[in-house]
Structures are given as structure tokens and as C-alpha cells.
Homo-oligomer: A and B are copies of this chain.
Amino acid sequence: MKKEELLKKIGEQIRVIRIEKGLTQKQLAHLIGKDQQSIQRLEAGNINPSYIYLCEIADGLNISLLDILNSLPT
């Protein structure tokens, strides 16, 4: 699968989960010491987040990274 697709899909999935949790981009960002723009780029698939970054996101969403990847559309 193409790199851009992978980033788009995980970004969309993170957005879905964030909204399920009732959080705004800003709220999620502040939970993990980042800013809203960082979350925006991540959700838009504009960046290739590091492993640690993904772990932090999962932490902010109060789920495991496995849960995020598990629910990815194939």
C-alpha cells in the first residue's frame, strides 16, 4: 500500500476515535503536551508520525496503539 494511503488511514482512524471520545483537536493536543496544529496534520495524513508519537496519541485517547491499528480499514 502507498505511503500516503497509510498515513491518511491512520489519521482518519485517530480522528474517528478522538470524536468518539468527545475531544477537540486542541483538547487532545493539550492532553499530551502538543498543540492543535500537530493533531490537525496528523489527522490529515500530512505527517509520518513516529512510534513514540503514536504511543502518546493512544495515551491521550486512553486506548492502546493496538486498538487504533486494529480498527483501521483495510
Chain A residues packing against B (C-beta within 8 Å): 1, 3, 6-7, 10, 48-55, 65-66, 69-70
Q: List, in ascending order, chain B residues with CB within 8 A of A50's CB.
A: 48-51
Chain B residues near A1 (CB-CB < 8 A): 55
Give every chain B residue within 8 A of A69 (Cβ-Cβ): 65-66, 69
Contacts of A52 in B (CB 8 A): 3, 6-7, 48
Q: How far is the CB of A67 from chain B (nearest CB, A)?
A: 10
Kindly list chain B residues whose C-beta atoms are within 8 Å of the C-beta of A53: 48
CA distance A70 to B66 in the complex (A): 7
Structural contact, A7 and B70, CB atoms closer than 8 A:
no
7 contacts between A and B (CB under 8 A): A1-B55, A7-B51, A48-B52, A51-B51, A51-B54, A66-B66, A69-B69
